[in-house]
Structure 1
Amino acid sequence: MKEKDEPIVLKTNEGRTYKMGTMTAVFKADEDETSNKYSISEWWLEPNSEGPGAHQHEENDEIFYGIEGTTSILVGVKWIDIEKGAFLRIPAKTIHDFANRTDEKCGVLNFFIPGGFERNMPSIVKWFEENENE
């Protein structure tokens, strides 16, 4: 882990990786490295797969930026397709989800503001492991 005042440099495919069935998260920076200001992660979905399920964050805004393929993102009651290069901000307290409705792998870069989401990752991974055959 880097100190808060040091640059963070990661090469392609580097970061803390969490596999959850057909979904993979790769955390690039988190609350420990950013003084809890934000966390940044990549979220990857295999073709024709679901994301985490509809949820909301009480105190956190999220930003999604398309990095590969087309990711369908639920915002409130509307699904929006985010292609490579597209930007989406989801305010706190907004129901959201994401999915891959295509035959190609897709990925988004996620900014979680303020940080802290990464502390949930071990329990999320465990839930997916325990429920993968359902």
Structure 2
Amino acid sequence: LVNRPEKYDRLLGIVDSPSNGLELCLGSLQEMPGGEIYSHVRRFARKDRIGYIHFRNVRGKVPNYVETFVDEGDIDMAEIVRILRDEGYQGVLIPDHTPGMTCAASWHAGMAFALGYMRALVQNADSLGPSWSLARAAAE
């Protein structure tokens, strides 16, 4: 499992080719202790090395984390979409490990919620305003 930025860097360094792209799991990056997810997403998107993104949110860090709905975790998913917009990302976003809801079709309902939330963010990307993580990184 690739779950740290340095592992992604190592993987990309093995074969330096545009065909060697990442399955970038946001939840896996976020749940690991240390690090800051936004700068890494920006860096990989800027290099055009992301094949697709697992759009998953979590709360907490390993070993005490929980998977959440995409709008409830520690990751600001609107900021992720701002970063992808700013860097011209044209790839795929895939909901991943979506919690179920308490209804007859719990997995399907959870997936429908995640897809609707993701679609709304992407469709409104230009209305989301400027990236706060880029401004914060520049100030540091």
TM-score (normalizing by structure 1): 0.31
Structure with the largest fraction of strand: 1
Higher helix share: 2
Q: Which structure: larger Rg? A: 2
Which of the pair has the greater relative contact order for Cα pairs under 8 Å at 6+ separation? Answer: 1
